[in-house]
Each structure stands twice: as structure tokens, then as C-alpha cells.
Chains A and B, each alone.
Chain A
Amino acid sequence: KAGVTQTPRYLIKTRGQQVTLSCSPISGHRSVSWYQQTPGQGLQFLFEYFSETQRNKGNFPGRFSGRQFSNSRSEMNVSTLELGDSALYLCASRPRAGAGNEQFFGPGTRLTVL
């Protein structure tokens, strides 16, 4: 079974721009979560989508948004980029929503904001 895929793998943007990252979950997985990893803050939860609905949201500003499509693929968008948004953005999928089951991560998208 193919794993979680994320595109693009690397991205360079400038302050004030916006960016869209894409995630395709493992086949059959309906829940997709997004995490941000930075050296200072570690791995931080952004949000989770299940059946095209946002189920859970972390403590990030409204500039960070996401959506999920009917085929479970997900996108996250960051508007008005700031230098501090430079990070590794990770997508994870699981078979169902809720706690008590493992999440499987993709390779991440490395975003650099100049």
C-alpha cells in the first residue's frame, strides 16, 4: 500500500505571499491531520479533517487554513506568509477520526520564507 504523499517537497516563498500544500493519504484512510515542525516549537498540531469537515484545530492564526476533498486528499493554505512560517509541514493520515489509533506521516513539505 502506498504511503502518505505530500507535494511539493520543497518550497521557497517570500513574505506576504501565500502557499498551498497538498497531501494524499494512504488509500482507505479518511482522516488527515497537519502538523508544523520547527526547531523552536517542535511538532505542533494544526488541524484535522475527516469526511471533508474540520474536526479539530490547533492554536494557529487564521492565516492557516485547510480543506479536504471527497477523495480524502487534503490541502493546507497559509496566507500572508511570515518569516516564522518557515518550517517542515507534515501531513498524517489514519483510517478513522478520534483518538486511539495511529497516524502515519508523509515526508513533509519544507517551506522556506524569505
Chain B
Amino acid sequence: DQQVKQNSPSLSVQEGRISILNCDYTNSMFDYFLWYKKYPAEGPTFLISISSIKDKNEDGRFTVFLNKSAKHLSLHIVPSQPGDSAVYFCAASGKTSGSRLTFGEGTQLTVNP
């Protein structure tokens, strides 16, 4: 049972444009969501998070939107840069799962110069 799903395995955008990565979840007990970026042979790097009491959180070029009724979150990167090319994972946790992060399958973002 995949509780967190990233339906797009890959996304390609031009440098300077917006990248939008999507994530859906099924467990209504999830109340904290995170995005991580991962380069090959490295561990995931934390990017940004959002609590279920909010619907938007911004940090520089990164903005996460949460739509609780649709059980959907998205990560916007504006403007996209070639160095953003990596695999992006969304993850979720909740009161019943405690510290456990449930990850999506990841989306490979490629930003073309």
C-alpha cells in the first residue's frame, strides 16, 4: 500500500522556468510533510517542510503548497537552475507514525541550460 505517491518519475524544464513537482498521499493521519533532494551516492538533503495547519511555506526559490482536502502537495522551484537537477522525494509523517517518514518514489528533475 503506497501511502505517498509521486506519479511522475521524471520532469524536464528549461533553466529559469518554474519546476512543479507533485505528491499525493492517502493517509489522513499524516500531518507533516517534507521535501528532500537527492544526488547519486549521497543521502537526501532536506529542502522544505510544511505542517498540516498551513497551506503554503516558502524558502527562497522553494515553495511548498498543501491541499489537505485533495491530499496533495506540490513543490515549486522558481527560477529553476541546472544545479537543481536531482531526484526529489516527498515524505510524510503523522502522530500515529511518530518519527517514521513515509517516502514517495521520487521524481527525477532535469533542468536544461
Using a CB–CB cutoff of 8 Å, the interface residues on chain A facing chain B are: 4, 6, 31, 33, 35, 42-45, 48, 50, 55-56, 58, 90, 92, 94, 97-100, 102-108, 110
Which of B46, B89, B106 makes the CB contact (< 8 A) with A104? B46
Count A-B pairs with CB separation below 8 Å: 73
* CA of A90 to CA of B44, assembled, Å: 9
Check if A105 sits within 8 Å of B45, measured CB to CB: yes
Interface residues on B, range: 20 to 34
The yes or no answer to B31 lying at the interface (CB within 8 A) is yes
Check if A42 sits within 8 Å of B103, measured CB to CB: yes
Check if A48 sits within 8 Å of B43, measured CB to CB: no
> Given that A45-B100, A55-B98 are contacting pairs, would A100 and B32 also be in contact in the complex, using a CB cutoff of 8 Å?
yes
- A56-B97, A56-B100, A99-B98 are known; give 8 further A-B pairs, CB within 8 A: A6-B43, A33-B101, A43-B101, A55-B98, A90-B43, A97-B98, A100-B32, A104-B46
